[in-house]
Amino acid sequence: MKILLLPLLLASVSPLSAQSPAQADTLRTRATRIQVSEAGVREHARFGGTANRIGGTQELTSAGSLWTHTDGGAAWVAEAVAIGDEGGQVLVEYGLNNEAVALLSSYDANPPAVVWTDNTPLDSEFQRVDSARSTANHVTLDQVVLGGNFQTRQAVVRKYTSSSASPDWTYTFAPVIDSTAKVAISRDGSIIVAAIMNNNTASMEIAVFDALSGTPTSYTVLPPGSSTNFRGWDLSADGSTLYFTQSNTVHLFDVGTASVIFTTNIGSGFDSHAISGDGSVFAFGRFNSISIWERSGGTYANTITKTLGGQVYCAQVDISDDGSTVAYGWYYYAPGLTIQINALDVASGAVTMTDIVVGAGTFQNLVADISCSADGSRFAVGLWGDEAGLADEVRVYSKTLDAPVQTANLPGSVFDIDISADGQRVVAGSKAVHANTFGHGGQVDLVDTGGEDLILRGAPKIGRIPALEIHGPPGNPSFLLSAGQPQDPPILFPALGTLHVHRATILITHIGSMPASGTLAVPFGIANDPALIGTTGYYQVLFLSPRRLTQDWIKLTFLP
């Protein structure tokens, strides 16, 4: 099907209506940011308001909070959060009280309704979660306390999809430990890696899984280290390379061969560690410095080091999937009120932005977490915050601007933060009060950076009628393009835009003309058919006068 001939096919389009199981493949996931030639315009448009798009000026979605999910008196803390399935799904694991795993839809109204909850992790500790960026696969790891003795625990891995609260599989590490355990999942959700520090032997034990089975494809026990320190942890997005630290030594682990391929001693242990999407770049922070290493032939070399004077250490770091950008945060630990955020361009070694945040009072304003978008254009930072409320706990940055493009001030401290692959949405898990104070309760916050011309309003649950919100030139005839798979790679048509739904199998549905406001909400009925659960579809909109495609597209995975 030639995209330039699409108008010739419009006479035979069908009306927008509820989906049948046979149409399930035409319904896929969440809005992913599209890259077209208007790069300069996009950065301005990204955060809502009016922007020049192909074919004229129009209103786009606004930046701000999408929803807040609170403990509602259950006294849990949002210990770990992740955003996956192209930004359409949020996974959270509650800790401290009423421990559980919960799934929420990024498209839901405020407050969101939990899609499902698994209470199996009750009475667990040290919760960790991760979500595949491009699929509806999710993974958790927590440590189950044995016999009421906090110092005897077993690490349990659970793999989920968005279709059910029942895990697809569960795996329990055999050793009883009093130490650290971590987990990660690849971008496409096909590879899961989990590890424990066995404090009885001072050995790392690494289990690799195919997403389809809870039986490890490999299980590796490394030689004992000089200590039980296990802090660094990151899996390359392609699932090829695991980065971790054991006894203050960086290890790069080839997942396919289950072997260590590189080590270097860093002399100290912090939580600032990251690796790029293909494993070619890694970084770690220490007192007064951050070091970036790049692959060269069969080894790695330290190519960039940045230093900062004073009583400071690099507290958190992340690297974009494409390896172009390193985002990192410094913490001035005396008196603990000042943090500094930087982004660095790996190709040039140049720092591209700096933001210094100074708090007040007695609370520690720690950098809790950093998360980069896939292309590094945007990143999110989570802080503990200060006593005076001067330091907003959720902060979203462009890698080229010193000031944050968006912030949110929360009641308490952020413990975990994650940004969608396209940099569009940020999820933060927090405590109801500052981390330095006694108390319980917490919340999950989802914020959006705005600037979209196509979005879904309402969770894509069977039997529901969410709405497609379209932003386009007034009076312009519009048509919904849908397919059961994405166009990979996307096709750029000059003056028309980029096609992201599968060209050969596009279905075309007439929507109508855009109103004078430039914003159209179209009811999107989803059949109340359990056969739809877990199926997906991809969507984009075509305008005819002037002829162009929306810059945004949506992948929907249908929920129970």
Q: Is 14 exposed, middle or buried (0-12, 13-18, 19+ CB in 10 A)?
A: exposed
* pLDDT computed for residue 58 by the predictor: 64
Taking the C-alpha atoms of residue 287 and residue 555, their distance in angstroms, rounded to an integer, is: 43
Q: Which domains does the chain have, with CATH numbers?
A: 3-61+453-557 (no CATH), 64-448 (2.130.10.10)
Residues 447-491 pLDDT 10s: 999 999 999 999 999 999 999 999 999 999 999 999 999 999 999
As a whole number of angstroms, the distance between CA 294 and CA 280 comes to: 6
**pLDDT tens track for 492-536:** 999 899 999 999 999 999 999 999 999 999 999 999 999 999 999
Q: Which residues pair with 407 in a beta bridge?
A: 395
Give the Cβ contact number of residue 87 at 10 Å: 31
Task: Collapse the DSSP code of 7 into the 3-class scheme (helix H, G, I; strand E, B; otherwise coil) and give the result.
Answer: helix
Token code pair at residue 274? 């990251």
**Mean predicted lDDT score pLDDT of the chain:** 91
pLDDT the model gives residue 322: 98
Instruction: Please give the helix or strand (H or E) that residue 39 lies within, else none.
Output: helix 39-45
Residue 125 is predicted with a pLDDT of 94
pLDDT at 545: 87
Q: What is the pLDDT of residues 141-186, one digit of tens each?
A: 999 999 999 999 999 999 999 999 999 999 999 999 999 999 999 9
Task: Single out the residue of 132, 376, 84, 353 nearest to residue 239, CA to CA.
Answer: 132
The span from the CA of 68 to the CA of 108, in Å, is 10
| Tens-digit pLDDT profile for residues 225-255 | 999 999 999 999 999 999 999 999 999 999 9
Residue 13 has pLDDT above 90, yes or no: no
Output the pTM of the full model.
Answer: 0.91
For residue 480, the surrounding DSSP H or E stretch is strand 477-483
Which range among 45-49, 72-76, 264-268, 510-514 shows the weakest confidence by mean pLDDT? 45-49
Q: Flag the least confident range among 52-56, 325-329, 519-523.
A: 52-56
pLDDT of residue 408: 98
Among 62-66, 266-270, 280-284, 287-291, the least confident range: 266-270
With pLDDT > 70 as the criterion, what percentage of the chain qualifies? 90
Q: Identify the pLDDT of residue 123.
A: 86
Q: 402-435 burial, b if ≥16 CB within 10 A, otherwise e?
A: eebbbbbebbbbbbbbbbbbbbbbbbbbbbbbbb
Question: Contact at 8 Å (CB) between 22 and 550?
Answer: no
Return the minimum-mean-pLDDT range out of 49-53, 217-221, 323-327.
Answer: 49-53
